[in-house]
């Protein structure tokens, strides 16, 4: 048995990027630990969603634990930073936000967990944080440095396969599985994911698609039933989210790995 530590910026990020490899690791007999940098305070919810006096961060923490239970996670840790919000928002200037965190200090917090767990594998995000979100970029910076401090040799950068996503959405529209207006589009002037040629690991997690979707549903404050991830048919969901993509420095060119825990 080895330990997989997955490092994320906000509650619900784990469902979108690594839920499949997390559940796969559990079913293969490994230990999985989820570390979240913030409590997602800058998220948005519809009017009346929260109970009177309830704080969004408290709800999102509860949702994280619920999703973690579904995925089989054995330990959940929050590093205690505030959500920085989207790039360019005033929340970026909060000295307590993750974007403003001292990388070395934050990395040591994560490194302490990696050492405690004797982590064999760490997942972070790619260097652009998928789409330029400040907290996601900081996850990359802090996570890579933490692995250096703790001596965790196997670090996978979770990303999206840009060409695969585009092909998938086009096919879904052509087949009538998704109306053209429902196909998500990356924000303007933002590079979303990474080119296929830069990706070095592709893990088939289609077997765990129902569990992945259930974990998404455990985050109703951010993922509503009418969002495309939950509204699309099961087969379309499995196609879109049944592979999880990563970059591992020193691997490639091309896809050279299909299991993050191989050999451990």
pLDDT in tens, the chain (264 residues): 999 999 999 999 999 999 999 999 999 999 999 999 999 999 999 889 999 999 999 999 999 999 999 999 999 999 999 999 999 999 999 999 999 999 999 999 999 999 999 999 999 999 999 889 999 999 999 999 999 999 999 999 999 998 887 777 777 677 776 677 666 665 555 678 899 999 999 999 999 999 999 999 999 999 999 887 898 888 888 988 999 999 999 998 999 999 999 999
Please answer whether residues 70 and 211 qualify as being in contact, where contact means their C-beta atoms are separated by less than 8 angstroms: yes
Name, in order, each residue with C-beta under 8 angstroms of 241's C-beta and a sequence gap of 6 or more. Answer: 20, 205, 209, 212, 213, 229
Within a domain: 258 = no
Residue 91 falls inside a structural domain: yes
Does a structural domain hold residue 8?
yes
| CATH code of the domain covering residue 188 | 3.40.50.10320
Read off the pLDDT of residues 24-44 as tens digits, 9 standing for 90 and up: 999 999 999 999 999 999 999
Q: Is residue 257 part of a domain?
A: no
In this structure, is residue 80 part of a structural domain?
yes
Q: For the chain, how many residues are written? A: 264
User: Within a domain: residue 152?
Assistant: yes
C-alpha separations of 47 from 94, 122, 170, 221, 234 in Å: 25, 37, 33, 11, 29
User: Structural domain of residue 132, as residue ranges?
Assistant: 3-248
Give whole-number Cα distances, 44 to 47, 88, 120, in Å.
Answer: 9, 17, 35
pLDDT, one tens digit per residue, over 101-127 is: 999 999 999 999 999 999 999 999 999
Residue 227 domain-assigned? yes
Beta carbons of 23 and 211 less than 8 angstroms apart: yes
Indicate the number of domains in the chain.
Answer: 1
Count Cβ atoms within 10 A of the Cβ of residue 151 and give its class: 0-12 exposed, 13-18 middle, 19 or more buried. exposed
81: CB partners within 8 A, 6+ apart: 37, 38, 96, 97, 98, 101, 106
Longest Cα–Cα distance in the chain: 53
């Amino acid at each position: 048995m080895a330990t997989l530590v997955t490092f994320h910026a906000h509650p619900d990020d784990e469902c979108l990027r690594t839920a499949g490899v997390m559940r796969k690791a559990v079913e293969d007999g490994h230990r999985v630990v989820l570390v979240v940098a913030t409590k997602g305070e800058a998220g948005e919810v519809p009017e009346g969603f929260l109970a009177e006096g309830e704080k969004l961060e408290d709800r999102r923490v509860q949702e994280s634990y619920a999703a973690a239970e579904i995925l089989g996670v054995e330990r959940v840790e929050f590093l205690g930073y505030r959500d920085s919000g989207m790039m360019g928002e005033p929340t970026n200037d909060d000295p307590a936000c993750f974007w403003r965190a001292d990388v070395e200090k934050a990395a040591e917090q994560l490194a302490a967990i990696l050492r405690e767990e004797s982590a064999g594998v760490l997942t972070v995000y790619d260097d652009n944080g998928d789409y330029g979100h400040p907290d996601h970029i900081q996850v990359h910076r802090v996570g890579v440095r933490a692995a250096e401090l703790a001596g965790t040799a196997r670090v996978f950068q979770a990303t999206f396969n840009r060409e695969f996503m585009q092909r998938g959405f086009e096919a879904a529209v052509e087949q009538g599985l998704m109306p053209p207006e429902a196909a998500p589009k990356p924000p303007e002037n933002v590079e979303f994911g990474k080119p296929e040629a830069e990706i070095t690991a592709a893990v088939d997690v289609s077997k765990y698609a129902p569990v992945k979707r259930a974990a998404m549903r455990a985050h109703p404050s951010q993922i509503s039933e009418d969002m495309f991830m939950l509204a699309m048919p099961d087969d379309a969901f499995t196609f879109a989210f049944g592979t999880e993509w990563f970059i591992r420095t020193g691997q490639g060119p091309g896809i050279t790995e299909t299991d993050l825990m191989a050999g451990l």
